[in-house]
Amino acid sequence: MGGPRPGTRHQSVFTDESKLDLNYIPDHLPHREEELRFLRLLFRFALENPEEMSQRVLITGPLGTGKTVLSQRLGLLLEDEAWRRGVRLRYVHVNCRELRGSLFLILRRVVKVLQPGFPGRGYSPDEALEALMERLEEEGCHLILCLDEVDALVEEEPEALYKLTRIQEARVGLPRRLSLICITRRPETLARLDPSTLSTLQRNILRLRGYTKDQLLDIVRERALLAFRPGAVSPQSLELISELAAEEGGDARYAIDLMWRAGKYADRSYSPLVLPEHVRRAAVDLFPALRREVLHSLTLHERLLLLAIARYFKSSEEAYARVGEVAETYRVICEEYGEEPRRTQLSRYLRTLGRAGIISTRPSGAGGRGRSTLISLKGVPAEDLEREVMRWLEGEGGWVTR
């Protein structure tokens, strides 16, 4: 595809890459208007008589079907309207997986959002919940708390949701202050909840389906207008992107990621247009497990462990690894990176990697060497995984949480 002509500076296909960012919330969500109206209706009370009631809603649906962005859009909409009406209403969105499924970390995050100077230390989870409710009472504010990827919370602390849903009942005679939106890709994990919490959640369920090819086409076309120079993504490329993403179960994140990567390939080859060949290239290195969001949410040690798993499988013909074998590689890698290995945390890290869909684990049968957990790598070649994790460790992917 040639290089730039001498004396000319190559112009990027992008005008604003941030519009393809994972955290960007578009003003308009094609093919989710009706769902947004439905949610808006469920929360009408919060604008009209917020002290009289509270709401619990569950949003489910497969990967990349707009659960997160829909809820965030609703939050902005409600906060905006509340502000215009002079109603005190806040929407706070937390990702339970990123906060290790810990109610305490979640509450601390929420209180910090509501009260930026909050010290946050030295509280028990129950005290943090009390502090939150007191804070809302003082402010006369209704909080809509969105627990995204709530399955992580349910798995780590099955009683946490019970506490959150019961806190209202314990405050007899006082105004309602807390509503919940729970989001999960895996509603079956909620079966672990106590029956009454489960039934309150099941009263209002919004089930999202994977997008069709035509719907994805509308989504990427609209997003391309925001992020690329006019016409830079050829119609054939938009078609191909939506077709590939429809095959991935109608995942809009995959579509947007694919478009972003294809744009990068176009720039790298000095092409003024994003062509189908760039899309195909991008598709090759976009294994589901390597998506930006997945790696982004991992902590340093989870990445080091992931690197250990990648290295193990790169040099092994086995389909399964024992934890002990991977732990040894992890120790060596920690040394390489000047980090103290955290052996006692390994099973927690493995659970996180499992939830992120990168690995699977299962108990080994009672074999000669005793019981152990077996690890396998899902849908990504070890070599690609190693390369990508190294890039993230070396900082290209952004900051690392500890």
Residues that bind ligand ATP (CB under 6 A): 22, 26, 29-32, 61, 63-69, 185, 219, 252-253, 256
When the beta carbons of 286 and 310 are compared against Mg ion, the nearer one is: 286
At its nearest, how many Å lie between ligand ATP and the CB of residue 147?
A: 12
Binder of residue 29, out of Mg ion, ligand ATP, none (CB less than 5 to 8 A by kind): ligand ATP
At its nearest, how many Å lie between ligand ATP and the CB of residue 337?
A: 29
With CA atoms as reference, report the closest residue to 101 among 60, 54, 156, 146: 156
At its nearest, how many Å lie between Mg ion and the CB of residue 66?
A: 8
Pull the structure tokens for residue 255: 């579509």
Question: Cα(first)–Cα(last) distance of the chain, in Å?
Answer: 42
Residue whose beta carbon is closest to ligand ATP: 66
When the beta carbons of 152 and 309 are compared against Mg ion, the nearer one is: 152
When the beta carbons of 50 and 64 are compared against Mg ion, the nearer one is: 64
Residue 365 host element (H or E) = none
Residue whose beta carbon is closest to Mg ion: 68
When the beta carbons of 254 and 313 are compared against Mg ion, the nearer one is: 254
Binder of residue 252, out of ligand ATP, Mg ion, none (CB less than 5 to 8 A by kind): ligand ATP
Angle at 35 between CA 31 and CA 41, to 5 degrees: 145
Contacts of 173 (CB under 8 A, 6+ apart): none
At its nearest, how many Å lie between ligand ATP and the CB of residue 218?
A: 8
3-state secondary structure of 322: strand
Binder of residue 226, out of Mg ion, ligand ATP, none (CB less than 5 to 8 A by kind): none
- Computed over its alpha carbons, how large is the radius of gyration of the chain? 23
Q: Tell me the window of 61-69, 122-130, 265-273, 389-397 that interacts with Mg ion (CB under 5 A).
A: 61-69
CA distance 362 to 304: 21
Check if the beta carbon of residue 180 is closer than 8 Å to that of residue 165.
yes
At its nearest, how many Å lie between ligand ATP and the CB of residue 242?
A: 12
Pull the structure tokens for residue 39: 């949610």
The interface with Mg ion within residues 66-85 (CB under 5 A) comprises 68
CA distance 326 to 308: 6
For the stretch 4-7, contacts whose Cβ atoms lie closer than 8 Å and that sit 24 or more positions apart, written own/partner, are: 4/270
Binder of residue 303, out of ligand ATP, Mg ion, none (CB less than 5 to 8 A by kind): none
At its nearest, how many Å lie between Mg ion and the CB of residue 248?
A: 15
When the beta carbons of 128 and 295 are compared against ligand ATP, the nearer one is: 295
When the beta carbons of 68 and 242 are compared against Mg ion, the nearer one is: 68
Question: How many C-beta atoms surround the C-beta of residue 269 within 10 A?
Answer: 15
When the beta carbons of 178 and 252 are compared against ligand ATP, the nearer one is: 252
Roughly what angle, to the nearest 10 degrees, separates helices 300-314 and 382-393? 150
At its nearest, how many Å lie between ligand ATP and the CB of residue 343?
A: 30
3-state secondary structure of 136: helix
Residues that bind Mg ion (CB under 5 A): 68
